Amino acid sequence: MVYKTQIDFFQNTHFEFDGDALLLKNSSDTTANVIEFVTSPNNPDRNLREAVVPQGASVRAIYDHAYYWPHFTALLASADEDVMIFTISKLTGHVGSRIG
């Protein structure tokens, strides 16, 4: 819920936090701009995740591969996403915070 708090804090009407990406999976609205954050492998269960919102011109996924290293998890396939970061906590200054 940190993203929602940040958007509310900055009172930005251009963005809206919707929470669960699964709610958009079967959406018929193809005009909405969507950014989906995908943590893979997920912390703490280490499950590998994929984006759930169908990708298109108005939908982008950002993959957080903070734990995508051989010494943390088995690498079953190579990662080749458009946008990959290797720790959102350091990117946004939330080191030590529990997000997700």
Question: Residues 53-93: pLDDT tens digits?
Answer: 877 778 888 888 776 666 666 666 666 667 777 765 655 65
Asked if the structure places residue 73 within a domain, the reply is: yes
- Give the number of other CB atoms < 10 A from CB of residue 51: 19
The least confident of 19-23, 32-36, 83-87, 88-92 is: 88-92
The closest of 30, 32, 39 to 89, measured between CA atoms, is 39
Asked if the structure places residue 79 within a domain, the reply is: yes
Cβ neighbours of residue 60 closer than 8 Å, sequence gap 6 or more: 34, 35, 36, 82, 83
Q: What are the angstrom distances between the C-alpha of 17 and each of 2, 72, 84?
A: 10, 30, 21
pTM confidence score: 0.58
Average pLDDT of the residues of the chain:
71
Print the domain residue range for 64: 34-100
Asked if the structure places residue 21 within a domain, the reply is: no
Asked if the structure places residue 68 within a domain, the reply is: yes
Percent with pLDDT over 90 in the chain: 0
Query: Do residues 88 and 2 touch, judged by C-beta distance below 8 A?
Result: no
Average of pLDDT values for 38-66?
A: 78
Asked if the structure places residue 6 within a domain, the reply is: no
Asked if the structure places residue 61 within a domain, the reply is: yes
What domain count does the chain have? 1
